[in-house]
Amino acid sequence: MSSNKTENTISYQLEIQAISPLHIGTQDLLERSPYTDYYVDGDKVCYIDEQKLMAAVQKKGLLDEYLDIVSEFDNNRAKESIGTFISKHLDGGDFSAYAHENHGLESDMRLPIAPTISSKGQAYVPGSSLKGALRTAILYHWLCKKGSRVLKKSFREIERLQATNSRKRQLRRNDRHGMRDIRREENRILRNIFPEEELFGRITSSDARRIRVRDCTPVAQEEVGVYLAQRHRLIPQRSRYNNRNQNSIPQPRQAILPGTTFSGELNLLLPFANPDLRYLSNKEQFINDINYLAEDAIDNEIYQLGMALHEGGQFKEGAELLIRFYEENLKPILKESDTILLRLGGGKTVYDNSLLLALIYGDEKEREREYYFRILREALFGVREDHDLFPVTRTLGPGGEVFGWVKIKVS
């Protein structure tokens, strides 16, 4: 830990390592098209160099044919991908500007690739993503360990949801006005369940504004890969369609590769108005308390996967693999000195980096806390109170990889 020029600022240097593929989506919606942007060459995903490709097309005298195919791309009538065109007409030459490691994407799939956020062509982790995960972990610890009074208020708010849940179940499907009124009432209640303002203060003077995280250093092109992500169902669906594959359509996504390291910086502008936040300037306590969320999220995931094993079905082997990952790869990190564990970006379940777990793991003296959790879960996700396993799907890479876990060495 080091001090900046101003005496009221403390800086933590963050050395970050991706433990699993790290995909942080971008709102630019610039998906990479299999018809115009990339082709698959074995264990590589190659992104087109347009100048190199056009030079080869013109040299072969295939400009008219190429333009006809491009017009089919634009109208979604294409019968072949750009990779097929290169293979058939350009002798399978190398027309890539750069390439990424390929994990599971095949040339005949013709699926758009979701990019990870980048700047000037280099992937990076935005400070806002890191700050969001840290802020949630700070609030989670407060709710579980110091906010029992707040949780009891949350329980009272959740009790108000029982009536709305009951009314919602009794509504006719076409009663739009009734459903709209219930949604409005639910939203009013939900805003009061996890009162962030009691910890951070009002937006205009929030202590959260005193927590500042810089964008992380960019990573090289060779440290990014493409993973064929797919949503897998943990337990068999109880229906006459049991024999059908119950997994979703795969979605390729760019991701920072496991093992990749980069750095960031966390600045705390002191003093905090709320005394409950002053521990953040003590590095040892900061690390210990931030890790509460990761520890509980991992324990909850192992518990959920254990229930999936009990149910059996086609995902049994996958569940066993995931439990080993959490037990052998993640839990030991929580014991490393000066290290915090967070989950960032896409691929998380609703309980990762989620305050919902505070209703299960917080306030151990409150015996009915899981009862309140189930009421809230029904209101948020429509899950019946008697259903134990939720969510019933997990998003994984082709080798069973989970997404988004990073460990951070703090100095």
Choose between 368 and 31: higher pLDDT: 31
My answer on whether 167 and 298 are in the same domain is yes
From residue 279, alpha-carbon distances to 82, 194, 282 in Å are 56, 21, 5
In a domain, 136, yes or no: yes
Give the predicted TM-score (pTM) of the model.
0.88
Q: Which amino acid is at 11?
A: S
Identify which of 18-32, 157-171, 220-234 has the greatest average pLDDT: 220-234
> What is the distance in angstroms between the CA of the first residue and the CA of the last residue of the chain?
5
Tokens of 227: 């993973």
My answer on whether 76 and 163 are in the same domain is no
- Pairing type for strands 96-103 and 224-233 reads parallel
Kindly provide the b/e burial profile for residues 11-47, where b requires at least 16 CB atoms within 10 angstroms of the residue's own CB.
Answer: bbebebbbbbbbbbbeeeeebbbbbebbbbbeebbbb
3-class state of residue 410 by DSSP:
strand
Tokens of 292: 């509460």
In a domain, 32, yes or no: no
In a domain, 158, yes or no: yes
My answer on whether 249 and 107 are in the same domain is no
Backbone Cα Rg of the chain: 25
In a domain, 33, yes or no: no
Decide which of 112, 135, 162 is a domain's last residue: 112
Residue 127 confidence (pLDDT)? 96
My answer on whether 328 and 362 are in the same domain is yes
- Pairing type for strands 122-123 and 261-269 reads unpaired
In a domain, 320, yes or no: yes
Residue 350 in contact with residue 304, Cβ under 8 Å?
Answer: no
Tokens of 279: 């521990």
Q: How many residues does the chain have?
A: 411
My answer on whether 64 and 18 are in the same domain is no
In a domain, 44, yes or no: yes
Domain tally, the chain: 2
In a domain, 361, yes or no: yes
My answer on whether 196 and 255 are in the same domain is yes
My answer on whether 159 and 100 are in the same domain is no
pLDDT digits (tens, 9 = 90+) for 98-152: 999 999 999 888 889 999 999 988 999 999 999 999 999 999 999 888 766 777 7
Q: Which domain holds residue 51?
A: 38-112
My answer on whether 306 and 204 are in the same domain is yes
